[in-house]
Amino acid sequence: MIKQLVGLLAVLAVAALFVALLPLMAPTELGPVTRHYVEQGLVENRGANLVTSIVVNYRGFDTLGEVTVLFLSVSGAGFVLRRREGLVPEPQRRSSELVQTASRVLFAPIVLFGAYIFVHGHLTPGGGFQGGAVIASAVLLLLLADRDRLLPHGFLSVIESFSGFGYVVTGFVGLAATGSFLANRGVIDLGTWNRLFSAGVIPVIYVLIGLKVGSELATLLDTMMHADQAGEGHR
Amino acid sequence: MIFIDLVVCLLAIVSAVWAIIARNLVSAVVLAGVVSLAVSYLFLRLAAPDVAMTEAAIGAGLSTVIFLIAVRRTEEEEKR
Amino acid sequence: MEIRELVGALVTLGGAAFLFLGALGIVRMPDLYNRMQAGTKATTLGNILTLAGLAIYEPAWLPKLLLVVLFVLMTNPVSSHALARAAHRGRVPLSDISVEDALAEAYGETAEPAKEARP
């Protein structure tokens, strides 16, 4: 009862804070940096999606940190969960044949859709993180339909390491070519606006992020699904 | 259109409060997923499709499932 | 208003009617399994009709809508199948007027345990 009251009070307090802060949220003048992004972003990067060119190019270094945080949390989960032994796996019936077949049929289209999202990250909404999450959901479908399935961890960690490595290498290529980390102009030809091969290194980086996020989340799901089976999920 | 927005706002708030006071952990997790889904619609209406996609895929999809797996794994040890 | 747009709007309206019937079935049906079949069959057809109406209304979207229809056709029945089986496995009771439990017989159980509510 006390817990519910505290919860309700917390929600009410946040609501009151929100109402108090509402007048401060009126649109104001753009700062100089923001105005540069809005006005020059399309010209400098030639990406149709301005959000992507901010996330991957202007703020690319922060995104590298974000990807590192994800990597650390996934490896932390793997480290904590792998030693959990001694729990008896509950007896469970296998999924019906319909579910297993459908999951195998649907796996490829969902992965394809995730790849579509991150390949077109510089043109349409979405990008590496969203596409990676979609790919991980395809893997989740496989794991839910067939509990005994073990993912190829070696393959996943190779993809994960290479994409992270490629991200940093792209940054250093920019550093070598133009003198700033993750530079876009002067590295690859920027191409025509609103085409698949445009916006320089942005699609390259987003494909790498998509592969990295997808393999990391797939590894996390596999670790959690098989956590209590006496470390069987970890080779 | 604004009516739908208000209904979705209300859905998000009610689900959030309900998720806090729910006794059953599985219901709380599912309600948190509902909050994510409603909020992703609101992001879409606020012209932020990138954020909406992230919220729908990660908030409503993956993290709900991860919480559900975690609840199933831990409920042998913690009986409420 | 072209005749094509009118036809598209009417087909979409038909889809909406099926979706409404599905929602009505979810409210009115006696037990979980009956509700689930109302919520699956009616919404699958309603979705497809709505998307077909949209395709007639805007023929340029036809390829994408076709993909969406294929996806709905593959996922919707399978997900409700999985949900219904999970409910049956979790001993969700049948309604009182149900006369047969073919899945329990297929598992080699009597129909009785599924009928009584779990304490």
Domain span including residue C47: 3-93
Domain span including residue B28: 2-74
Is C102 part of any domain?
no
pLDDT in tens, A1-39: 788 788 889 889 998 998 888 887 776 777 788 888 888
Domain layout of chain A by residue ranges: 43-76+97-225
Is C22 part of any domain?
yes
Is C18 part of any domain?
yes
Q: What is the pTM of this model?
A: 0.81
Is C40 part of any domain?
yes
Query: What is d(CA A193, CA A190) in angstroms, rounded to the nearest whole number?
Result: 8
B16–A224 C-beta distance less than 8 A? no
Is C46 part of any domain?
yes
Nearest CA in chain B to A134: B57
Is C55 part of any domain?
yes
Largest Cα–Cα separation, chain B:
47
DSSP element (H, E) containing B40 = helix B25-45
Is C45 part of any domain?
yes
Q: Which chain A residues are within 8 Å of B76, Cβ to Cβ?
A: 87
User: In chain B, how many domains are there?
Assistant: 1
Task: Establish if B65 touches chain A: CB-CB under 8 angstroms.
Answer: yes
* Tokens encoding A92: 């469970």
Is C105 part of any domain?
no
Q: What is the ipTM of this complex?
A: 0.82
User: Which residue type occupies A180?
Assistant: S
Q: What is the pLDDT along chain C (119 residues), one digit of tens a residue?
A: 688 889 999 999 999 999 999 999 988 888 888 888 888 888 999 999 999 999 998 888 899 899 999 999 988 988 888 888 888 887 777 777 777 777 777 776 654 444 444 44
Task: Establish if B46 touches chain A: CB-CB under 8 angstroms.
Answer: no
What's the CA angle centered on B74, arms B69 and B78, to 5 degrees? 145
Task: Establish if C74 touches chain A: CB-CB under 8 angstroms.
Answer: yes
Query: What is d(CA C42, CA A38) in angstroms, rounded to the nearest whole number?
Result: 47
